[in-house]
Structure 1
C-alpha cells in the first residue's frame, strides 16, 4: 500500500512541476529547463506530462544533483518531428556531459557530470540551440 502512495506522490509532483513549466514556457517549440528533483522518475513523468499538454513541442528537462555533480536529464520529441529523435538529442547532450543515455526516437533519458551550475546552464542553452538547429535544417 505504501508503494501506491509513493507512486501517487511522484505523479502529483510531476503534475505540479509540469504546470509550473507550462505557465513559464507556453507555446514554445523547444522547451528546455532545469527542475529541482533527485528522481529520474519525477523527471521522466514531468517530461511526459509536459509533452502531453504541449504535443508539438520538443521537451528536455534537467536536474542537477550538486552534491554528487551528476546531471539527470530526460526528453521527448513528437513522433515524426522535424527536430530529429529523442535519442539523438540525448546522445549529443551526453557528449557534452561525459555521460550516457538510452531511449527511443520519441523518449530518452540519461545522466552526465557537471560540477558547476554554470556548466549546467551552458548545457541547457546548448541543448535548446541543438534542437532549434535540427528544426531549422530539416528538409
Structure 2
C-alpha cells in the first residue's frame, strides 16, 4: 500500500510542495505570531517530518523569515502567500489553506493552541 500524498502551494503557483505520509498534529493556533503572519484570528496547521516534504514547484523552497529562536516562517517571494513554518527541529508546519484538497480528513484540526489569545468573539469548536 502506498503512502498518502498531499500537494499544495502558493496563490501564484511558483512554490509547490508534496508531503508524504501521515500528518502529525493537525491543529489550529491563535498565538499572536500566527495572527500577524496570517492576518486572521486563527491559523490551521498540519505538521510533517522535514524529510516527508518536497518542494516541487519551479520556485523551489519558499522564502524564509526568522520569526523565533526555533522557527522560520515560509512564504512565496513572488505573491507573498503564507505556506507555513520550517522549524529547526526536524519538522515543517504547512498551513492547511495551502493544500490543493483541503477537505481531506487527515488535515482536520484536532486541537487548538493559544485559545486565550483569540478574540473573544471568535468561537472554535474542535469536534472529536
> Does the TM-score normalized on the shorter chain lie above 0.5?
no
TM-score (normalised: structure 2): 0.26
More strand by share: 2
Q: Which has the higher contact order (CA 8 A, sep 6+)?
A: 2
